[in-house]
């Protein structure tokens, strides 16, 4: 924090890195399944639980038979009972579903699954996010514990009025580590003298005998090395003692206490604001980070109606936020806010901040919302950085456009005068003069092409069209028609697979295909060009590849070809401006994609790029 209490840029980046690291190194598995049921993301812990790498998981659907999914009782999951099916059919989050899955090694793993759906603007499922924990050990312990408790229920022994053993069952023999023959007739305090030194034990037996009322105790008995929970039932002739080994339960309780302590510590030190409210909206728990975001104590609201004391506006519209619109109010109404709300708030100390808020309801066994949890991230600095970066990019685009536009006029003058000299004095020039004039005209033409390219480069963002579903088959065929003369004159063969529909700018995607196919023809070498275009689906994107059998690229840094005015062949070898591939890169990046090249000298090149796939609901 700075002296004024505002987070520095370094801290914001550090916090984001921390969140990414927390997700990646989270002690629980986190996975994302797209609308088709395919696993598209899994963190490291998920890989460990699944026993499969991320690359392998991308080949799995949620109901792949290789999972061998079973329910908590070990029976195959009924139709529609897989976590993904439940999220889709119930259209809401699921919690603590216990399932078993099979690792490639054949080992059965038990996991506790929480899942939440995410919807697109059309109300269709976009993806589902799952958090799951390996509970194999717990599941096995519970199974063992059920068996133990079934036997422990009958563990008892009887003592006469002088505390001599008169009856012992098999389970009691096991827990007391002595046979019935060794126990019968012997005095409890003589066989287990340490018990007589424990006040709770001594008092329970003697008080039960004196009052003829049952007495209980719960303690760790060192000589037998287990936690014992016992009830002493008196009679006129002695006592009957029913007891059980509760060591596993005690250890689990201690582990739960340790976990709660760790969670409490994490709650306090998290760099993001966390708020917890009860079902009525009363804020029950708020960490320091939330108070820092709001510039004061946030505890004062005891109901949703009192949220009106918090002043805020929707960041995208500037409309005031009502009490019922705050994320916590919606969460308590049962909504899972996984697509974050973004508010501009007025803090208690008078500052304006922009916060991003997520929230989830906590439900009881009956499905009733009993708690609401929201997390808030102060993105004020990030938004300011984004604003400045956008303004900087706009200024750079304006500069590039202005500079290249202003160069056009003097270049036209140069070209005009060169043409005039050629017309009026061409006959008087000697061979050197004609050669020099030819060089000058050629240089002016190259300059014009470079300026035109720079103008096009500067307009990628400012003059691009809105994205819409675009058929790449149609784009390809239009480009091939435009290149018909070059294709025929070079005897080029261009083939393609069936190409997909993508979300993009039709005109700019034509530029990409135009440049890549032109380059493939230009750099074919001495043989007729052979070019193939293919497409492969990779999650939410399509990878488009343009493969040629040309001269290839001889460079240790092939990415340099995507920089403005960068060339890997001399102009004497192959003509060009060095703008085309830079244009391709900028267009692809505008489409939230990547572009790269794989090449070997003499072996040809493959230019590949990714574009966003069109959802099945888009038309």
Per-residue model confidence as pLDDT tens digits over 227-280 = 999 999 998 899 999 998 888 888 888 887 776 666 666 566 567 888 888 888
Per-residue model confidence as pLDDT tens digits over 569-579 = 544 454 555 67
- In this structure, what token pair is assigned to residue 88? 């889709």
Q: How confident is the model at residue 496 (pLDDT cuts 50, 70, 90)?
A: very high
Closest CA to 38 of 22, 60, 9: 60
Within the chain, all domains assigned CATH 3.30.450.20 are found at 28-134, 144-249, 274-378
**Does pLDDT of 20 surpass 70?**
no
For the ranges 150-159, 501-510, 553-562, 609-618, the lowest mean pLDDT is seen at 150-159
Q: What is the pLDDT of residue 78?
A: 86
Q: What is the average pLDDT value for the chain, to the nearest integer? A: 83
Q: What is the pLDDT of residue 566?
A: 64
CA dist., res. 546 & res. 527, Å (int): 18
Q: What is the pLDDT of residue 513?
A: 94
What is the rounded (10 degree) CA torsion for 272, 278, 283, 288? -30
- In this structure, what token pair is assigned to residue 418? 């060169």
Q: What is the pLDDT of residue 401?
A: 64
CATH class name, domain 380-463? mainly alpha
**Does pLDDT of 543 surpass 90?**
yes
CA dist., res. 335 & res. 330, Å (int): 6
Within the chain, all domains assigned CATH 3.30.565.10 are found at 466-619
Q: What is the pLDDT of residue 12?
A: 59
CA dist., res. 448 & res. 415, Å (int): 9
- Quick one: average pLDDT of 337-352? 89
CATH class name, domain 144-249? alpha beta
pTM over 0.95: no
| Domain spanning 274-378, CATH architecture | 2-Layer Sandwich (3.30)
Q: How confident is the model at residue 593 (pLDDT cuts 50, 70, 90)?
A: very high
| Of the options 1.10.3720.10, 3.30.450.20, 3.30.70.100, 3.40.50.360, the CATH number for the domain spanning 28-134 | 3.30.450.20
* 379 CB-contact burial (10 Å; exposed 0-12 / middle 13-18 / buried 19+): buried
| Domain spanning 466-619, CATH architecture | 2-Layer Sandwich (3.30)
Per-residue model confidence as pLDDT tens digits over 98-148 = 999 999 999 999 999 998 998 888 888 888 888 889 888 888 876 664 454
% of residues, the chain, pLDDT over 70: 82
**Does pLDDT of 388 surpass 90?**
no
Q: What is the pLDDT of residue 23?
A: 62
Beta bridge partners of 226: 221
Q: What is the pLDDT of residue 164?
A: 95
DSSP 3-state of 288: helix
């Amino acid at each position: 924090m700075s002296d004024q209490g505002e987070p520095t840029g370094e801290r914001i980046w550090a916090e984001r890195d921390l969140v990414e690291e927390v997700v990646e190194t989270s002690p629980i598995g986190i996975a994302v399944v797209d609308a088709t049921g395919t696993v598209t993301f899994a963190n490291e812990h998920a890989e460990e639980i699944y026993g499969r790498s991320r690359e392998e998981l991308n080949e799995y659907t949620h109901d792949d038979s290789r999972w061998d999914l079973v329910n908590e009782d070990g029976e195959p999951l009924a139709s529609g009972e897989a976590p993904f099916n439940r999220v889709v059919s119930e259209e809401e989050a699921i919690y603590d579903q216990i399932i078993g899955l099979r690792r490639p090694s054949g080992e059965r793993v038990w996991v506790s699954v929480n899942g939440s759906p995410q919807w697109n603007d059309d109300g269709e499922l976009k993806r589902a996010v799952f958090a799951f924990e390996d509970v194999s050990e717990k599941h096995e312990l519970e199974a063992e514990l059920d068996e133990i408790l079934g036997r422990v229920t009958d563990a008892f022994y009887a003592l006469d009025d002088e505390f001599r053993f008169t009856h012992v069952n098999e389970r009691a023999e096991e827990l007391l580590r002595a046979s019935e023959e060794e126990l019968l007739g012997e005095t409890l305090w003589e066989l287990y003298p340490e018990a007589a030194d424990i006040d709770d034990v001594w008092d329970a037996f003697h008080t039960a005998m004196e009052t003829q009322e049952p007495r209980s105790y719960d303690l760790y008995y060192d000589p037998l090395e287990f936690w014992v929970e016992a009830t002493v039932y008196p009679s006129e002739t002695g006592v009957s003692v029913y007891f059980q080994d509760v060591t596993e339960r005690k250890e689990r309780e201690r582990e739960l206490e340790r976990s709660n302590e760790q969670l409490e510590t994490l709650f306090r030190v998290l760099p993001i604001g966390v708020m917890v409210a009860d079902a009525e909206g009363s804020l029950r728990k708020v960490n320091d980070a939330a108070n820092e975001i709001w510039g004061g104590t946030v505890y004062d609201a005891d109901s949703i109606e009192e949220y009106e004391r918090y002043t805020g506006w929707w960041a995208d519209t500037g409309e005031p936020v009502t009490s019922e619109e705050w994320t916590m109010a919606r969460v308590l109404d049962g909504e899972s806010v996984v697509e974050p709300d973004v508010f501009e708030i007025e803090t208690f100390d008078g500052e304006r901040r922009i916060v991003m808020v997520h929230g989830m309801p906590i439900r009881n066994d009956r499905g009733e919302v009993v708690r609401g949890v929201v997390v808030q991230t102060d993105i004020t600095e990030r938004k300011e950085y984004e604003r400045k970066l956008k303004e900087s990019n706009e200024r750079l685009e304006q500069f590039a456009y202005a500079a290249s536009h202003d160069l056009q006029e003097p270049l036209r003058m140069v070209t005009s005068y060169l043409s005039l000299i050629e017309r009026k004095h061409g006959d008087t020039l000697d061979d050197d003069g004609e050669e020099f004039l030819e060089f000058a005209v050629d240089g002016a033409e190259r300059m014009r092409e470079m300026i035109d390219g720079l103008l096009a480069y500067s307009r990628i963002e400012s003059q691009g069209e809105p994205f819409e579903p675009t058929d790449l088959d149609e784009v390809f065929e239009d480009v091939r028609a435009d290149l018909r003369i070059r294709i025929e004159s070079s005897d080029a063969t261009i083939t393609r697979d069936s190409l997909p529909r993508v979300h993009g700018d039709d005109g700019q995607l034509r530029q990409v295909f135009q440049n890549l196919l032109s380059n493939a023809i230009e750099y074919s070498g001495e043989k007729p060009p052979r070019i193939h275009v293919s497409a492969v689906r990779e999650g939410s994107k399509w990878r488009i590849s343009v493969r040629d059998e040309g001269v290839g690229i001889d460079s240790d840094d092939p990415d340099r070809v995507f920089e403005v005015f960068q060339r890997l062949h001399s102009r004497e070898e192959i003509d060009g401006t060095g703008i085309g591939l830079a244009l391709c890169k900028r267009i692809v990046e505008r489409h939230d994609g990547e572009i790269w090249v794989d090449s070997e000298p003499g072996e040809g090149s493959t230019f590949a790029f990714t574009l966003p796939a069109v959802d099945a609901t888009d038309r």
